[in-house]
Amino acid sequence: MLRKGKGILVMIFVMFLMASCQQGPSASEQMYNHLEKAVELEKNFGEQQEQLVSLQNEEQALYEQILELPESEMAKIKKLSDEAVSILEQRKEIIQSEKESIDAAKEEFDNVDSVIEDLESEELQSKANELKKAMETRYSAYEDLHKAYKEALKRDEKLYSMLKNEELKMEDLEAQIEKINESYDQYKEARAAFNTATENYNDLKIEFYEATDLNIKFEGNNQDSQTEEESTEGEGKEKQDTEENNENNEENKKDEKEKSTDDSKSKEDSE
């Protein structure tokens, strides 16, 4: 009987040790890990912004050169248009890479579904569900942003193809310029919606962290999901400046395209 009793005590002790060893991070810690890994996966999204601005500037320079050329320089117009289209292709590749990083971050974020119900209090569960809805809204807004940007690039590409046509009609050029203007207006609206959704998500994430007992310290924007204005390192002003330049470039581009219409009309009058 004594031996049997000792055996039971040993088994209970071993089971206790095993349970202690198997005890992993708390539900709050698991949430934190998934949320911050999602942020890390989005770093590539922030990095792509500077490349896009640089390429847009290159394309703009080519476009301005095309506008300055007379129709007698059609060979050079075609060459510059081809170079501009090549830059558009690079921009397509970048926004695809950008989307892949957002998709990967969303996939990582979705891992919180299995953790929310294990959170330590109803308050945390409620805040986590709010956070989840905010991310869904943000991701939907990004889908609209990505779609709008792709459409704008598609219409830009068609414009360059039209500029190479020696028999281009003025009404066709004007119609295409109008479509491009519409695309970039939609892009700006989608960008604003995405940024708003991102800021809301980041605010709710801070609220969730503050409600836990993790004692998380917030340093700058390093723990924030990316908006269109933010830099890779969370230096908001630097990224804000580049985005303002980006927006100015788009407005200048529209002005130049409208100017090209006026220039073409003037050429017709002079002829």
CATH of the domain at 178: 1.20.120.570
Establish if 1 belongs to a structural domain: no
Q: Are 214 and 29 in contact (CB under 8 A)?
A: yes
**Full-prediction pTM beyond 0.85?**
no
Residue 172 has pLDDT above 90, yes or no: yes
Q: How many other CB atoms are there within 10 angstroms of residue 231's CB atom? A: 20
Establish if 271 belongs to a structural domain: no
pLDDT in tens, 152-169: 999 999 999 999 998 988
The total domain count for the chain is 1
Task: State the DSSP H helix or E strand holding residue 241, giving kind and residue range, or none if neither.
Answer: helix 236-270
Q: Which two tokens stand for residue 218?
A: 């917030």
Lowest mean pLDDT among 6-15, 49-58, 225-234, 237-246: 237-246
Establish if 4 belongs to a structural domain: no
Give the domain range for residue 249: 21-263
DSSP 180-196: HHHHHHHHHHHHHHHHH
Establish if 12 belongs to a structural domain: no
Establish if 268 belongs to a structural domain: no
Amino acid type, 239: K
pLDDT in tens, 113-144: 999 999 989 999 999 999 999 999 999 999 99
**Distance (Å, rounded) from C-alpha 155 to C-alpha 96?**
17
Establish if 270 belongs to a structural domain: no
Establish if 215 belongs to a structural domain: yes
* Residue 53: per-residue pLDDT: 85
Dihedral sign computed on CA atoms, order 248, 252, 253, 254: positive
Establish if 150 belongs to a structural domain: yes
